[in-house]
Structure 1
Amino acid sequence: MIDHLDHLVLTTTDEAACVAFYTGVLGMQLETFGAGRKAFRFGNQKINLHVKGSEFEPKAHLPVPGALDLCFIASRPLAQVIDALQAGGQTIVEGPVLRTGATGRIRSVYLRDPDLNLIEISEYVDD
Structure 2
Amino acid sequence: MTLETSGQGRIAFRFGNQKINLHVRGKEFEPKAHLPVPGALDLCFMASVPLEKVIARLQEMNWPIIEGPVLRTGATRKIRSVYVRDPDLNLIEISEPVN
TM-score (norm 1): 0.49
Give the Cα–Cα distance (whole angstroms) in 2 for the partners of residues 91 and 74 of structure 1. Answer: 17
Q: Which residue of 2 aligns with 1:103?
A: 76
Q: Which residue of 1 aligns with 2:33?
A: none
Q: CA deviation at 1:4?
A: 3.9
SS at match of 1:91: coil
Q: Which amino acid aligns with 2:77?
A: G
**1:122 aligned to 2:79?**
no
Q: Which amino acid aligns with 1:109?
A: V
**1:82 aligned to 2:83?**
no
TM-score (norm 2): 0.62
Matches within 5 A, 1:1-127: 4=15, 64=39, 67-126=40-99
Q: Which has the higher helix share?
A: 1
Q: Which residue of 1 aligns with 2:20?
A: none
Q: CA deviation at 1:89?
A: 1.1
Q: CA RMSD in A?
A: 2.3
Give the Cα–Cα distance (whole angstroms) in 2 for the partners of residues 77 and 87 of structure 1. Answer: 16
Structure 1 segments unaligned to the other structure (5+ residues):
6-61
Q: Which amino acid aligns with 2:51?
A: L
Structure 2 segments unaligned to the other structure (5+ residues):
3-13, 17-36
Q: CA deviation at 1:119?
A: 0.4
Report runs of 4+ in structure 1 exceeding 3 Å deviation. Answer: 1-5
- Equivalent pairs, count: 68
Q: State the identity as a percent.
A: 66
Question: Could you list the per-position Cα deviations for residues 62-103 of structure 1 after superposition, in whole angstroms to 9, with x for gaps in the alignment?
Answer: 964xx1000000000000000001001100000000000010
In terms of Rg, which structure is larger?
1
